[in-house]
Amino acid sequence: MTATFRTAASIGTGQMGPGTASVLALGGAATTIVSRSLDSARKGLETARAGLAELAAHGIVDSERAAAAGERLSASDDFDTVVAAADLVVESAPENMAFKQALFARMDQVAKPDCILASNTSGLSITGIQSHCGRPERVITTHFWNPPHIMPLVEIVKGERTSGEVALQLRDFLRACGKAPVIVKQDRPGQLGNRLQSALIREAMYIVQEGIADVEDVDLAVKNGFGLRLPVYGVFEHADIVGFDTVTAVADYVSRDLCNHVGALPILLDRKERKQPFCDWTVKTMDQVKARRNAFLLDFLARYR
């Protein structure tokens, strides 16, 4: 497999940086994990290699490919030197517009002219970020979903001045990395996946707020109903298979009763104020739920990808 990018940098060692680095290495790029301290960067390196081992253990990538990707990974605290040598930089810094604008302005100054600068932001405008760069056409969003080494989706979001060629180059590379990239052609709030997810979350909270169903039953309906088939049965596939007459009829009467509230719903604001979670976390832990999520995802990907 030939990599589109020979060298890459993954900026940040929080939830996303190490996993993103492992993905880039799987695509064939010699990838450096960059953090403010060398100790933190080395811990990120350990996390990235552990993620590769996890993929190999579940048969999602073969052990030889995972081992080779692990050898392509390195760690550094020398930000400018790493960015200057990279063909591709993906940052996973805190979600703060002013911080990212300053970070990208700095990268724009030290990076090679043909380097692509990508943000892993899940909500900030890439148009706003690229506005502080001298080469905005090479600035783009690559939003990896968490956990990034497992979740297939990467949203490639074009800013107002992003080159279409850059978007296509990243799409091809991410496919070589084993991901399922989509190109989002307009820089809009929520990108693509979070727009869809936000609509579901709003309606789910509205159902509980209105007393239509309880929290536990809403989650059960999602997990055991339409949510169970979504990995292999898309929204538009469903519309075509069911037929336009049925889809239109349902839309005509159901849409009239759906939530159209702008902003956070009262039920969410109330829970936030009282610091009361929706779920009963005395009968399960968040770590148990995340472990169950990851096990399901790994099993699904091993079987069907």
Q: What is the CA radius of gyration of the chain?
A: 21
Q: Of 168, 86, 167, whose CA–CA distance to 130 is shortest?
A: 167
Per the annotation, the verdict on 149 as an active-site residue is: no
194 is catalytic: yes
Whether the CB-CB separation of 35 and 13 falls below 8 Å is answered with: yes
Our answer to whether residue 260 is catalytic in this structure is no
Please tell me which residue in 58, 74, 76, 122 is annotated as part of the active site.
122
Size of the chain, expressed as the number of residues it contains: 305
Specify whether 224 is catalytic. no
Residue 90 contacts residue 142 (beta carbons within 8 Å): yes
**Catalytic pick among 10, 22, 119, 155:** 155
Closest CA to 181 of 171, 168, 194, 169: 171
Burial zone of 229 (CB within 10 Å; 0-12 exposed, 13-18 middle, 19+ buried): exposed
Nearest-5° Cα angle at 41, 39 to 45? 115
Catalytic residue (one of 74, 163, 194, 294): 194
Report the catalytic residues. 122, 143, 155, 194
